[in-house]
């Protein structure tokens, strides 16, 4: 039975299969710049159906000529069980409901200023997105996302130590800035000495 693992595709474990999926996605998205989505979907579907019918007829002819067993290469995918049991479907539905409710609560807190700092971060993010919208459209961002999906995980796996060190330095700087802002918000006092036996503030 065929087992298509998304992570195997992303990490290029099967180069041929990943190349086909990646090329198909990018070419399909690029086609949307010139053609409507209906034309792209119908053309891709027509090409895929012509291919599968031709291959199926070819293998049947080989079987008639006693030159093969007549089983097409995609027979394993026909036997692949993609159905859900009632219990599994309920679990996925519950997870989806929890995710939707959680997202709704997060948006409520952000837009109704449940946390001023988080709302300001969202404001800055949306402001930056407006500049991104002036530079490119959503389709361009989607294509860049697909390219990043098939390249960045593999790059991270091959250079994990360097990437972790780079982001650790950034996180340290961010934590330092957050600590400074927190001290300013608390009155601008010096940072507490947390080392054992550290200097204690003098009492008058």
Overall size of the chain counted in residues:
204
pTM exceeds 0.75 for this model: no
Q: Is the pLDDT of residue 2 over 70?
A: no
The predicted-structure confidence for 54-91, as pLDDT tens digits, reads as follows 988 888 888 888 887 777 777 777 777 777 677 878 88
In this predicted model, what pLDDT tens digit does every residue of 124-133 receive, in sequence order? Answer: 989 888 887 7
Q: What is the model's pLDDT at position 204?
A: 45
pLDDT digits (tens, 9 = 90+) for 166-188: 889 898 898 888 888 778 877 65
Location of structure tokens 């550290």: 198
Q: Shortest CA distance to 185 belongs to which of 116, 125, 121?
A: 116
| pLDDT more than 70, % of the chain | 88
Alpha-carbon span 125 to 122, nearest angstrom: 5
Residue with tokens 């997202």: 103
User: Does residue 110 register a pLDDT over 60?
Assistant: yes
For 123, residues 6+ apart whose C-beta sits below 8 A from its C-beta are none
CA-closest candidate to residue 153, choices 6, 19, 36, 46: 6
CA dihedral 83, 88, 91, 96 (to 10 degrees): -10
């Amino acid at each position: 039975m065929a087992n298509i693992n998304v992570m195997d595709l992303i990490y290029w474990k099967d180069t041929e299969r990943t190349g086909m999926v990646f090329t198909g996605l990018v070419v399909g998205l690029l086609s949307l710049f010139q053609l409507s989505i209906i034309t792209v979907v119908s053309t891709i579907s027509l090409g895929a159906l012509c291919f599968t019918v031709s291959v199926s007829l070819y293998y049947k002819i080989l079987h008639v000529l006693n030159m093969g067993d007549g089983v097409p290469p995609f027979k394993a995918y026909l036997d692949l069980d993609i159905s859900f049991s009632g219990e599994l479907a309920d679990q996925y539905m519950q997870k989806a409901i929890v995710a939707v409710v959680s997202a709704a609560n997060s948006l409520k807190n952000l837009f109704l200023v449940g946390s001023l700092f988080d709302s300001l971060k969202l404001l800055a993010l949306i402001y930056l997105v407006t500049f991104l919208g002036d530079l490119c459209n959503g389709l361009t961002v989607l294509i860049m996302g697909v390219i990043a999906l098939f390249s960045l995980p593999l790059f991270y796996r091959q250079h994990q130590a360097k990437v972790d060190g780079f982001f650790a330095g950034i996180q340290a700087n961010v934590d330092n800035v957050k600590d400074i802002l927190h001290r300013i918000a608390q009155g601008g006092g010096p940072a507490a000495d947390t080392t054992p036996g550290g200097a204690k503030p003098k009492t008058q």
